[in-house]
Structures are given as structure tokens and as C-alpha cells.
Amino acid sequence: MNFPNALKFYINGEWVTPLSSERLDVENPATEEIICQIALGSVEDTDRAILAARAAFLPFTQWPTARRIELLEEVLAQYNKRFDDVADAMRLEMGAPVAWSREAQAWAGQVHLESTIKAAKEMHWEEQRGTSLIIREGIGVCGLITPWNWPMNQMVCKVAPALVAGCTMVLKPSEIAPLSGLIFAEILHDAGVPAGVFNLVNGTGPVVGAQLSTHPEVDMVSFTGSTRAGTAVAAAAAPTVKRVAQELGGKSPNIILASADLDAAVKGGVEGCMSNTGESCDAATRMFVPRALHDRACVVARETCEAMRPGDPLDPATTHGPLISGPHFHKVQAMIQKGIDEGAQVVTGGVGRPIGVNRGWFVRPTVFGNVTNDMAIAREEVFGPVLVILPYDTLEQAIVEANDTVYGLAAYVSGPLDEARAVARHLRAGTVNLNYPAWDTNAPFGGYKQSGNGREYADFGIHDFCETKVIVGYEA
């Protein structure tokens, strides 16, 4: 697969030569082979994109909302035409298995476009309250910083609502997984997005990300990534009083009730935790089970993991791809070793690559049992295929320990619906999933505490890119 624009940036409706000469190799983490090089942007490259977005803002934000919805519908049409290219790009940059790159990664971008279009058509952009008229309009120029673990999901979750709200934007995809972003820029160009409305500059967080966060012509920064990087973005944005929306880390609990179907609940929890090679911020990485059922839970978890097949993404039998990079592989290996050193029971997995795999950043799906809530593996985000099982004596204890975390992105409860609903109300998380429901892209997504602020998806995402204006005395 070729990426003809890899050494260019998309600015003001054109693919332009960067002002910077810096380059970065893009690796396929399944093979450790270099796919291509991308250009890395400088402060000056970023400024050029920001100024293009600023010049385009007033003309674009004055478009009727119906016209912007039509534009987003054309983006969806072009996305559908390039669906295979989008999936292939993420298979290469992430090492994602073929089925996962299509049915999860590329599908996510498609379904979020559909959800945003539906929400925009149903949304009340203007409403009268007494003699006042309340109007929702685009906030302005937006800096969008997206991660490598769900590239297209996060790009669409930011670009689509910003576009339909009447914002202009500069996107910085992850420099580790930038290829799908190049395809997405081509899609937006082919859909007829006006020059300057969407701009893309590849680069690093300390250079391009920092400039988006500090620049006085940027009105909002929407960031998805680690809590550490998110706090840096917020601090950099503070002097110019930007709006900052953040979707950050997580250490999500999964409480399995004593009345649950234990085997099904554990199997579903393990599969969910290990999906996307565990590189999901809302993964259910802490499984709470009644102490009397702990040993059985470990057996089911081991059997579930041993049925997984990490390996060649092109092999139809492969279920799990590699971690994103060598540095991340070594970080996850160190966390697995820390769990061993802390005395947790290794149910399955452990350090090293899976048996039979001798290249690529593959990790053994790992489960620890008899974990206590003070262990590092129970408190720190691993961001890999690592699950910890914590036995509990009372439901009250499980709820307290589930909430005893700096994070609050997601939580899970398995058991009879009425009991699960009652527990859900006690959990401090932005999303509580009962009995592993289907992904709902019309529901809000975002976190409590150090998992971020703001919400994404459908009308909730659109609201975050809007200012609220009131014209008082609009009616006599």
C-alpha cells in the first residue's frame, strides 16, 4: 500500500511541502519492518495550519447547519469508498488482524460519522426561552490531538462534530500510527471540505501538540491520550483560557456478582479486556469476583486466554495483534514483571513473547489472580493484555475498591439486571456497562476524575465544540 502524501502536510486545501526537514520512520509493529517515512512538523508548520484554519473560520461557520450536515454526509460517502484503504492503513500501522482492522477499527469511524449526522439532524441548534433566543454555534479554531490505539475512532469523534458545529481545525494524529490520518485527509478533500476548514500536521506532542495548546488563535483543544500528557495540554492551554476536552486513561473495574453466570461473565470480561491487544483506555482490567469463586474464575480466565492466537495479522486464525511499539512492549513487560515481583498469582501468560512468535511486539495474554488493591498492577494503567483478578468478601467491599482509583472512565457489572443496575449507581465512572452490552455510539463517552472531562459521541460530542449564545430581548 502506498502513501503518496506521507512526506507532506494538508494545509489550506492542499498537500504542501513541510517547512521542517525532520522525518520519522513508521514501523509495522507485527513485523518490525519500516513501512514508510512521515514528515514531522515544526512550530512554523503548525502556525501555518492554524492561520489557515483561522482565515477559514468566519466564512465556514456562517454556512447554514443543513449545508454542513450535507457536507458530513458526503464525507461518509467518501469514507465508504475508501473503507478498505482505511482498514489496510490501520492493519499496517497497528499490526491489527485483518478482521479487527475492518470490523472494529475502520467500522468505528464509519459508525461515528453516521451517529453524528443523525444527532446533528435531530439537535436543537436554536431554541426560544421566554423572550430570549439561545443559539449553539461553533467555538472557533480547534486543535485536535489523537492517539494511536483507536486512530480512526478518535479522529472521527473529533472531526465530525467539529465540522458540523461550524468549527475549523488542525489535526495532529499520533506520529506512531499516522497512516490512517493521511487517508482520512484525502477523504475530507475528496468530499469537498473547503480549504482551511480541515488541516493536518504530523509531528510530536512536545512540538506540534504544544503549539496547538498554546497558540492564541486556537480556541479549543480536544485531546485523547495519557493522563500525564493531558495534564500538560491543560497547563499549556490555561494562559489563553482555551476550552480543553480530554479523554484520558483508565483502570476500569469489572464487578462480577455472586448471582452472575460466573463462567460466561469471566469469559466475556477476559475477551473484552484483551481485545485490541488490551490497548483501550476503557478496558475492564480489574475483575472483582467473590472470594469463594476466585479459583474457578482463574480456571475460566486461563482457558479463555489460551484459546487466543496472537500472530500474523494476515492469518485468518489470528485473534490478537502486537503492541504498538518496542518502547511500549518493554513498558508492558516491566509491569508484568512487577506483578510477579509483588507476589500475585500468575494464572496464565507472563513475560516474553508468545510461544512460536520470534518477531513483532507481541505479548502473552496475561492474567494475575489473588491480586490485592494496593498492588501496582491493580492501580497503574498497563495498556496491554493484562488482567488482574481481585477476590472480594462483600459487595460493599467490591464497590469501595472499584471506586478506589484516580481514574473513572468506565466500569462493568455482570449479573441479574436489577442487581447490576443497583450496583451501577454506586460506581464513579462516566460509562457503566451492564452484562457486556453492544457498543452504543449514541451514548456519551468520557470520564470522571483523572480520566478527563467533556464527552464524545453523537450530540454530546457536538455540544463540546459549541459556544452558547443568547440573544436577550429577541422577542418583544
Strand-pairing partners, residue 367, are 348, 387
Q: What is the DSSP letter of 241?
A: T
Q: Helix, strand or coil for residue 159?
A: helix
Q: What nine digits make up the cell of 46? A: 503548525
CATH 3.40.605.10 residue ranges of the chain are 9-248+451-471
Q: What is the DSSP string of 371-439?
A: --TTSHHHHS---SSEEEEEEESSHHHHHHHHH-SS--SEEEEES-HHHHHHHHTT--SSEEEESSPPP
Please say if 279 is a catalytic residue.
no
pLDDT in tens, 201-226: 999 999 999 999 999 999 999 999 99
* 317/100 Cα distance (integer angstroms): 12
| Active-site pick, 157, 167, 281, 298 | 281
Q: What nine digits make up the cell of 84? A: 478498505
The segments of the chain whose pLDDT lies below 50 read: none
What topology is assigned to 253-440 in CATH? Answer: Aldehyde Dehydrogenase; Chain A, domain 2 (3.40.309)
Please say if 36 is a catalytic residue.
no
**Amino acid occupying residue 122:** E
Where do we find the cell 476500569?
Answer: 252
Q: Helix, strand or coil for residue 369?
A: strand
In sequence order, which residues have a C-beta less than 8 Å from that of residue 314 and are 6 or more positions away?
98
Q: Is 55 exposed, middle or buried (0-12, 13-18, 19+ CB in 10 A)?
A: middle
The widest CA-to-CA distance across the chain, in whole angstroms, is 77
Strand-pairing partners, residue 310, are 320
**Gyration radius of the chain over CA positions:** 23
**Amino acid occupying residue 221:** V
* 42/49 Cα distance (integer angstroms): 11
| Active-site pick, 93, 247, 279, 456 | 247
* 154/301 Cα distance (integer angstroms): 30
* 36/28 Cα distance (integer angstroms): 9
CA angle 209, 211, 216 (to 5 degrees): 130
In sequence order, which residues have a C-beta less than 8 Å from that of residue 176 and are 6 or more positions away?
26, 93, 148, 324, 325
Q: Domain 9-248+451-471 carries which CATH code?
A: 3.40.605.10
* Cβ atoms 276, 313 nearer than 8 A: no
Strand-pairing partners, residue 25, are 37
Identify which of 114, 138, 80 has the alpha carbon closest to the alpha carbon of residue 469.
138
Report the pLDDT value the prediction gives residue 348, as an integer from 0 to 100.
98
* 120/31 Cα distance (integer angstroms): 42
Report strand pairing: 410-414 vs 431-434: parallel
Report the pLDDT value the prediction gives residue 13, as an integer from 0 to 100.
98
Q: What nine digits make up the cell of 409? A: 472512565
CATH 3.40.309.10 residue ranges of the chain are 253-440
Report strand pairing: 366-369 vs 345-348: antiparallel
Q: What nine digits make up the cell of 118? A: 443523525
**Amino acid occupying residue 198:** F
Which stretch of DSSP H or E encloses residue 80?
A: helix 65-81
E strand intervals along 29-68: 33-39
* 205/193 Cα distance (integer angstroms): 26
Q: Helix, strand or coil for residue 15?
A: strand
